[in-house]
């Protein structure tokens, strides 16, 4: 799909980050956009950015939806059909995601399953729900966002990342299998998997909100104690900090993750859309994603050893997540 003009794209998680930038850049190119998010406020801001930049006649619609709930996804689909008066769509970006649920031992089961639900079932329900509308188009592309954690299941040897990584592995495997399924049954529909490295988004800041937890600056003493233990285990010098100081440090970590990433959300969206245009089915985003992909393939047995992380960091990669 080399030209997005006049097409209709569905974007989940359109309120912030890569979803916002995908929606905005598509609207600039003359593509109609239907986005969903759990934050109406964020979506309204995205819609304003899209409308300010869009070509004349481009339609932008917003829809409240929790992608982990199939009934809400069905309502989202029906809302898209009504808002755009259509029975088909051309592009589906299953982009919504959160972090959380890092450890089976340390984190609440509800957090684990919520993270897995958004990151995996959001992709599955999105594909299931919109598939008939994609098949009804003369050409269509399903773009599923996995992660480097879809082939490397941690954030370093001292940081468990089980819910997110399990979900992103599922997304990667599902998309690869889906390509064959589509080839056999709907060859005019393609599928691509996106595997970003460290991208400057608000995922760290947004995760607490989606999990129903207080923002970092409002964390309870109990929550801070767990965070303190994790940080100390990673060797960070926080032992002498009081609770308020630790809250401030954690908040700065989240801002630093967003604002000092090697690739910003806008650049990531451009890479993704360029990949769709050129027909790539495996879209790595960022030099760190390419480096990590090579390293895991070359030495899978050592991928979870401290030396593996140290080698990547010595090359300038993954310094903000280790």
pLDDT in tens, 243-295: 777 777 777 777 666 677 889 999 999 999 999 999 999 999 999 999 999 99
DSSP string of 256-305, one letter each residue: HHHHT-SEEHHHHHHHHHHHHHTT-SEEEESHHHHHHHHHHHH-GGGTTS
Per DSSP, the three-state class of 25 is helix
User: Tokens 């030495």 belong to which residue?
Assistant: 299
Note the pLDDT of residue 217: 65
Task: Give the dihedral sign, CA 254/259/263/266.
Answer: positive
Note the pLDDT of residue 239: 67
Pairing mode of beta strands 32-37, 91-94: unpaired
What would the mean pLDDT of 194-201 be, rounded to a whole number?
91
pTM: 0.89
Asked if residue 314 has pLDDT above 80, the reply is yes
> How would residue 204 be classed by pLDDT, with cut points 50, 70 and 90?
low
> Among candidates 38, 39, 2, 45, which has minimal Cα distance to 23?
45
Asked if residue 322 has pLDDT above 50, the reply is no
Structure tokens at 91: 């592009």
From CA 268, how far away is CA 201, in angstroms rounded? 10
**Is residue 195 a contact partner of residue 144, using CB atoms and an 8 Å limit?**
no
> Among candidates 23, 174, 33, 153, which has minimal Cα distance to 90?
33
> Among candidates 62, 65, 30, which has minimal Cα distance to 47?
62
What would the mean pLDDT of 49-60 be, rounded to a whole number?
95
User: Tokens 């993954």 belong to which residue?
Assistant: 318
Cα distances (angstroms) measured from residue 117 to each of 14, 74, 78, 109, 270: 18, 16, 21, 12, 27
DSSP string of 101-167, one letter each residue: ---TTTS-HHHHHHHHIIIIIHHHHHHHHHHHHHHTSSSEEEEEE--GGGTS-SSSTT---HHHHHH
The strand pairing partners of 255, in sequence order, are none
Note the pLDDT of residue 321: 56
Per DSSP, the three-state class of 317 is coil
**Is residue 151 a contact partner of residue 169, using CB atoms and an 8 Å limit?**
yes
CATH class of 8-201+263-314: alpha beta
The dihedral formed by the CA atoms of 216, 72, 125 and 273, expressed in degrees to the nearest 10: -70
């Amino acid at each position: 799909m080399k030209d997005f003009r006049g097409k209709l794209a569905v974007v989940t998680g359109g309120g912030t980050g890569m979803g916002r930038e995908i929606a905005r850049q598509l609207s600039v190119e003359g593509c109609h956009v239907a986005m969903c998010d759990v934050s109406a406020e964020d979506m309204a801001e995205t819609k304003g950015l899209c409308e300010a930049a869009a070509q004349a006649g481009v339609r932008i619609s917003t829809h409240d939806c929790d992608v982990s709930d199939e009934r809400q996804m069905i309502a989202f689909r029906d809302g898209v059909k009504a808002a755009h008066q259509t029975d088909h769509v051309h592009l589906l970006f299953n982009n919504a995601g959160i972090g959380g649920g890092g450890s089976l031992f340390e984190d609440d089961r509800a957090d684990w399953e919520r993270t897995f639900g958004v990151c995996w079932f959001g992709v599955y329900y999105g594909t299931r729900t919109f598939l008939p509308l994609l098949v009804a188009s003369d050409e269509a592309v399903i773009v599923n966002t996995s992660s480097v954690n879809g082939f490397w299941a941690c954030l370093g040897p001292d940081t468990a990342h089980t819910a997110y990584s399990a979900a992103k592995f599922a997304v990667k495997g599902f998309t690869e299998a889906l390509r064959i399924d589509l080839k056999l049954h709907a060859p005019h529909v393609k599928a691509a998997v996106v595997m970003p490295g460290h991208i400057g988004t608000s995922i760290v800041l947004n995760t607490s909100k989606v999990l129903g937890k207080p923002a970092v600056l409002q964390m309870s003493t109990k929550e801070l104690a767990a965070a303190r233990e994790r940080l100390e285990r990673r060797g960070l010098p926080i032992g002498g900090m009081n609770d308020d100081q630790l809250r401030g440090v954690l908040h700065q970590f989240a801002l630093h993750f967003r604002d000092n990433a090697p690739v910003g959300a806008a650049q990531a969206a451009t890479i993704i859309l360029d990949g769709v245009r050129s027909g790539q089915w495996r879209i790595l985003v960022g030099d760190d994603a390419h480096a990590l992909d090579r390293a895991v393939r070359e030495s899978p047995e050592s991928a979870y050893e401290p030396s593996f992380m140290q080698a990547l960091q010595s090359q300038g990669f993954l310094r903000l997540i280790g």
